Amino acid sequence: MSNFSSRAARLSRLTGACLVLGALALAAATSLGRTAGSQPESHVKLAATAGKIDRDGTQTITIKMRVDKDWHAYANPVKHEDLGPNQTVVKIASAKKLENVSIAYPEGRRHMSGKESYQVYEGTVEIYATVKRAAGDTGRLQVTVNYVTCNDNLCLPPETVKLEVK
């Protein structure tokens, strides 16, 4: 089998597994009686804090991500090309355009699923962001965190959490 065929077969298996797991998650949520507008199941707690703004307008933001026991979120980088869209991503915005945004993701832990390996976040991890604000900008920052959580049997739909820091 060619490398391309092998990769295509692996991607097909991963995609099929994700679709099945997503359908199971939807069915489970529906069977639990979740109504439109209610909060989805989440196994991640997020908090963000901001340091003081330096004279040159530089500020550091710390995002603390706590993942429940027996669950994981895909790391950034996830180190598996087929799972790239599921990796944790942090975005930071301000009412005034930020001059520079740099995100420092922690190293993930190696996780195995069959013969496939990829990087995940488990327990508590901290993600650091450094921003350079426009002159005079002291307003709130919007921190957006996108991630996917899984355990050994189930992956939940992607989540987006928005936080504000000053």
Contact 87, 108 (CB under 8 A): no
Tens-place pLDDT, residues 126-143? 999 999 999 999 999 999
β-pairing verdict for 58-67 and 100-104? unpaired
Cβ neighbours around 15 below 10 Å, total = 11
pLDDT given at position 39: 57
Decide if pLDDT at 116 tops 80.
Answer: yes
Whole-number Å distance between alpha carbons of 74 and 164: 23
Say yes or no to pLDDT of 164 above 90: yes
Domains and CATH numbers, the chain: 40-165 (2.60.40.1250)
More confident call, 25 vs 3: 3
Residue with the larger pLDDT of the pair 29 and 79: 79
Closest among 2, 14, 1, 45 to 117, alpha carbons compared: 14
Residue 86 burial (C-beta neighbours within 10 Å; 0-12, 13-18, 19+) = buried
